[in-house]
Structure 1
Amino acid sequence: MELKELKDPYIDRLFDAILMIKNKDECYRFFEDICTIGEVKALAQRLQVAEMLKAGYTYGEIAEKTGASTATISRVKRYLQYGADGYKIILERLEEMDKNKKNNE
């Protein structure tokens, strides 16, 4: 089952709330209240895995650097290749943000 198949007013409301976050401080505050530290770290780990997969790192290198299991790495890779393009969109935006930061230094 995919998340879009779970679409309901409560998930819509959650996403509306996330889209209202104005800065990193508010983001920390909201996620501290709504998630456990472990849940936030798991989300961050998946994003790091996606970035490393896109950069061409091996499963072994990714597992060593992130602590992610090979199952997690495989899942992220599958969604990078065949998912709803969520990772691709965000990774491109993060790369652009990093490029802009570097140009402004």
Structure 2
Amino acid sequence: MLGGNPCMPVNEKLRDELTDKLFEAMLTLKTVEEFYRFFEDIATIGEIKALAQRLEVAKMLDAGMTYEDIVAATGASTATISRVKKCLNYGADGYRIVLERTRNEYKKQG
């Protein structure tokens, strides 16, 4: 079963028409290159790097790595690691969905 609760409602503080349009626009992107081009235009390099770091932290936490190892490997602060861990344990399961799907993609490729 896919990680996440499909019945869990989206946070209504986040959801609005403009955000829906942003996410719908992202669904039109087809390649990693297109994502790079879109994100370079819409976000700063620092914002993109921070998002990438959080996903890597989530992968490492999911693999059972310690905070110390994660800090050493990613340079993430313990506050960032703690925030990601909280999302993994009590969040909307967005990380879980991505982690499971990327694990499945790696299995298909291997």
TM class by smaller structure: over 0.9
Equivalence for 1:5: 13
Runs of 4 or more off by more than 3 Å in structure 1?
A: none
Gaps of at least 5 residues in structure 2 are 1-9
Q: Does 1:23 align with 2:31?
A: yes
Separation (CA, whole Å) in 1 of partners of 2:45 and 2:14: 24
Q: How many residues end up aligned between the 2 structures?
A: 101
Give the direction of change, closer, same or farther, for the CA distance of 1:100–1:27 in structure 2 (3 Å limit). same
Equivalence for 1:53: 61
1:79-94 → structure 2 map (5 Å cutoff)? 79-94=87-102
Separation (CA, whole Å) in 1 of partners of 2:94 and 2:15: 16
Give the root-mean-square deviation of aligned CA atoms.
1.2
Q: Could you tell me how far 1:10 is from its partner in structure 2?
A: 0.8
Q: TM-score, normalised by structure 1?
A: 0.92
Separation (CA, whole Å) in 2 of partners of 1:22 and 1:4: 28
Q: Could you tell me how far 1:3 is from its partner in structure 2?
A: 5.0
Gaps of at least 5 residues in structure 1 are none
Higher fraction of helix: 1
Q: Could you tell me how far 1:5 is from its partner in structure 2?
A: 1.6
